[in-house]
Chains A and B, each alone.
Chain A
Amino acid sequence: MGNLVGAELRKTTTTGLWWGLLIPTAVLALGWGLATGMLGQFFVDFASSGDVDEVSDFLGVTPDQWKVSLFGMARAINVSTIFPMVFGAMAISSEISRRTITTTFLTAPSRMHALLAKMLVYVLWGAIYGLAIMLFLGVGVALTSSPGQLPDAGGWAMLTLVCVLSSILMTMFGVGVGALIPNVAGAVVLLLLYFLVIENVLHGVLAYLEVPAVIGFLPNGSINGLTGSVSVDLFLSAAGVVPPEIEDVLRAIAGASGAQDWWLSGIVFLLWSGVVFAGGWAVTQAKDIT
Chain B
Amino acid sequence: MHDGSGLIAVQNLTKQFGPVTAVQNLSFTVSPGSVTGFLGPNGAGKTTTLRMLLGLVKPTSGTATINGRPFHQLGQPGRVVGAVLEAQGFHPARTARNHLRVYASAIGVPDAQADQVIGLVGLGSAADRKVGGFSLGMKQRLALATALLGDPQVLVLDEPANGLDPEGIAWLRTFLQSYARMGRTVLISSHLLAEVEQTVDQVVIISRGQTMFYGPLQQLRQSQQKRVLVQPSDLNALATALRAEGVQAIEQLPDGRLAVSGVESKQVADTALKAGVSIYGIQEEQVDLERLFFQLTSGQYAGYAPAPYQQQQQQGGWH
Contact = CB atoms under 8 A, between A and B. Distances in A.
A56 interface: no
A243 to B, nearest CB: 56
Given A7-B106, A100-B90, A290-B51, A107 B78 contact: yes
A107 B77 contact: yes
B76 to A, nearest CB: 6
Interface string B287-314: 0000000000000000000000000000
B262 interface: no
Contacts of A4: 105-106
Contacts of B150: 107
Contacts of A98: 89-92
Given A6-B105, A100-B91, A106 B98 contact: no
A16 interface: yes
B120 interface: no
Given A99-B89, A102-B89, A107 B107 contact: yes
Interface string A1-29: 00110110011001110000000000000
Contact of B58 (A14, A15, A106, A288): A288
B266 interface: no
B105 A3 contact: yes
B160 to A, nearest CB: 15
B85 A7 contact: no
Nearest to A96: B89
A107 B54 CA distance: 11
B56 A3 contact: no
A7 B102 contact: yes
A103 B91 CA distance: 11
A14 B76 contact: no
A105 B56 contact: yes
Contacts of B101: 10, 14
A6 B106 CA distance: 7
B94 A14 contact: yes
Interface string B91-121: 1111100110111011110000000000000
Contacts of A99: 87-89
Most buried by A among B48, B72, B95: B72
B140 interface: no
Interface residues on B, range: 35 or more
Interface residues on A, range: 20 to 34
B107 A102 contact: no
Contacts of A104: 106
A106 B95 contact: no
A102 B88 contact: yes
B31 to A, nearest CB: 22
A99 B98 CA distance: 17
B106 A290 contact: no
Contacts of B88: 99, 102-103
Contacts of B89: 98-103
A110 B85 contact: no
A102 B56 contact: yes
B146 interface: yes
B117 to A, nearest CB: 13
B215 interface: no
B157 to A, nearest CB: 13
A197 interface: no
Contacts of A102: 56, 85, 87-89
Interface in B205-263: none
Contacts of B90: 98, 100
Contact of A3 (B98, B107, B149): B107
A288 B78 contact: no
B122 interface: no
Contacts of A6: 105-106
A23 to B, nearest CB: 16
A142 interface: no
B57 interface: yes
Nearest to B15: A288
Interface in A71-109: 98-109
A290 B103 contact: no
Contacts of A286: 58
Contact of A14 (B72, B95, B108): B95
A279 B77 CA distance: 26
A241 interface: no
A209 interface: no
A3 B78 CA distance: 12
B75 interface: yes
Contacts of A100: 89-91
Interface string A142-159: 000000000000000000
A11 B108 contact: no
A109 B77 contact: yes
B56 A7 contact: no
A103 B55 contact: no
Contacts of B83: 106
Contacts of B99: 14
13 contacts: A7-B106, A14-B98, A16-B93, A98-B91, A100-B89, A100-B91, A102-B85, A103-B88, A104-B106, A107-B103, A107-B150, A109-B75, A289-B57
4 tightest A-B contacts by CB?
Answer: A99-B89, A7-B106, A14-B98, A289-B56
